[in-house]
């Protein structure tokens, strides 16, 4: 059975196969983030056998998430810290990795074509060093084949920084943050792609909105509406169900839930789910 704040992993044919396991939902943590190491001097993230990305992103977010769980108001710097965290959550999803790996072959061709051209130029300009440059030129096919056979994950890790999406990083804290609570109603789901927005609208339009589950009992609703006050509001049943539909539909592979119930399985296997703006 799950703990009070635990989440279970739902295997789904539509979202991909998986095994069931419990997760402490304190705070919402990305499974992948926990395996990425701390920052380099440039502020990018690299694989390392030591501490995880928590040093740079998750550790600063923990006190903010604790404040939210205890229903405390958000200061400006709290919103900025959690916005950094959400940018990483948006970037680290499998969909982003798929995008980068899909574009990689074309990038690889350009890079090695430029390297070949540059080495030939150096041979022409420095004939006395011709033998050295010729050796480098002969190494290019082997290196290119290596990268063709094995995508260098470091390229992706280098993008896992809040600075990689500067506009999103600026938009998120500028929005009105309303925390919707679900104390005795249907709990909020989370997934491997928890930050939701309507891609057709983006984030910067007046009608844009973002939802992000903080725990099984609290979800962030970020909006540009000026008639709302930043606070904690008991969520209506319709809002809870809408947020859960969003979370399940946006999941790439895994959906997490805090209780064993059939409605979650039914939801993630539902096709052509209609999504609506919150009211």
User: Are residue 76 and residue 164 in the same domain, yes or no?
Assistant: yes
Chain-centroid distance of CA 210 in Å reads 14
Q: For position 160, what pLDDT does the model report?
A: 79
Which H or E run contains 142? helix 130-149
Residue 75 structural domain = 6-92+160-267
User: Are residue 117 and residue 181 in the same domain, yes or no?
Assistant: no
Q: Provide the domain count of the chain.
A: 2
Supply 258's token pair.
Answer: 């805090």
Q: For position 18, what pLDDT does the model report?
A: 30
Residues 6+ apart with CB under 8 A from 116: 137, 140
- Cα–Cα dist 152/199, whole Å: 29
Residue bearing tokens 């679900």: 182
Among 157, 186, 206, the domain-final residue is 157
User: Are residue 87 and residue 49 in the same domain, yes or no?
Assistant: yes
Q: How sure is the predictor about 159, in pLDDT bands with cuts at 50, 70 and 90?
A: confident
Residue 12 counted as domain residue: yes
Among 157, 184, 210, the domain-final residue is 157
User: Are residue 21 and residue 118 in the same domain, yes or no?
Assistant: no
Phi-psi region of 30 (alpha: psi -120 to 50; beta: other; left: phi over 0): beta
User: Are residue 79 and residue 119 in the same domain, yes or no?
Assistant: no
Residue 211 counted as domain residue: yes
User: Are residue 153 and residue 167 in the same domain, yes or no?
Assistant: no
Residue 279 counted as domain residue: no
**DSSP letters for 111-126:** HHHHHHHHHHHHHHH-
Residues 6+ apart with CB under 8 A from 218: 68, 69, 179, 180, 181, 182, 188, 232
Tell me which of 65-74, 180-189, 250-259 is least confident: 250-259
Q: What is the share, in percent, of the chain residues with pLDDT greater than 90?
A: 53
User: Are residue 54 and residue 182 in the same domain, yes or no?
Assistant: yes
Q: How sure is the predictor about 69, in pLDDT bands with cuts at 50, 70 and 90?
A: very high
- Cα–Cα dist 230/74, whole Å: 8
User: Are residue 111 and residue 146 in the same domain, yes or no?
Assistant: yes
User: Are residue 84 and residue 106 in the same domain, yes or no?
Assistant: no
- Cα–Cα dist 8/147, whole Å: 36
CA 10 → CA 32, 174, 248, 257, distances in Å?
17, 34, 11, 8
User: Are residue 245 and residue 170 in the same domain, yes or no?
Assistant: yes
User: Are residue 133 and residue 203 in the same domain, yes or no?
Assistant: no
Among 114, 136, 157, the domain-final residue is 157
User: Are residue 104 and residue 219 in the same domain, yes or no?
Assistant: no
pLDDT(38) > 50: no
């Amino acid at each position: 059975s799950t703990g009070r704040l635990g989440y279970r992993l739902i295997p789904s044919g539509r979202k991909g196969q998986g095994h069931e396991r419990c997760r402490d939902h304190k705070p919402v943590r990305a499974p992948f983030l926990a395996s990425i190491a701390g920052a380099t001097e440039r502020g990018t993230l690299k694989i390392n056998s030591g501490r995880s990305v928590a040093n740079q992103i998750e550790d600063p977010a923990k006190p903010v998430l604790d404040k939210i769980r205890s229903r405390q108001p958000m200061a400006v710097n709290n919103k900025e810290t959690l916005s950094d965290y959400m940018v990483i959550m948006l970037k680290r999803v499998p969909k982003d990795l798929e995008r980068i790996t899909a574009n990689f072959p074309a990038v690889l061709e350009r890079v090695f074509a430029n390297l070949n051209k540059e080495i030939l130029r150096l041979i022409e300009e420095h004939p006395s060093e011709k033998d050295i440059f010729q050796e480098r030129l002969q190494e290019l096919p082997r290196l290119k084949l290596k990268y063709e056979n094995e995508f260098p994950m470091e390229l992706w890790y280098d993008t896992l920084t809040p600075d990689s999406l500067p506009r999103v990083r600026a938009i998120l804290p500028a929005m009105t943050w309303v925390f919707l609570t679900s104390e005795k109603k249907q709990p909020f789901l989370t997934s491997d792609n928890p930050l939701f927005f309507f891609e057709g609208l983006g984030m910067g339009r007046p009608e844009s909105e973002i939802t992000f589950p903080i725990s099984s009992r609290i979800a962030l609703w970020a909006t540009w509406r000026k008639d709302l006050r930043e606070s904690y509001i008991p969520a209506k049943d319709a809002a809870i169900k809408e947020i859960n539909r969003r979370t399940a539909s946006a999941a790439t592979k895994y959906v997490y839930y805090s209780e064993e119930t059939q409605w979650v399985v039914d939801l993630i296997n539902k096709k052509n789910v209609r999504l609506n703006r919150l009211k």
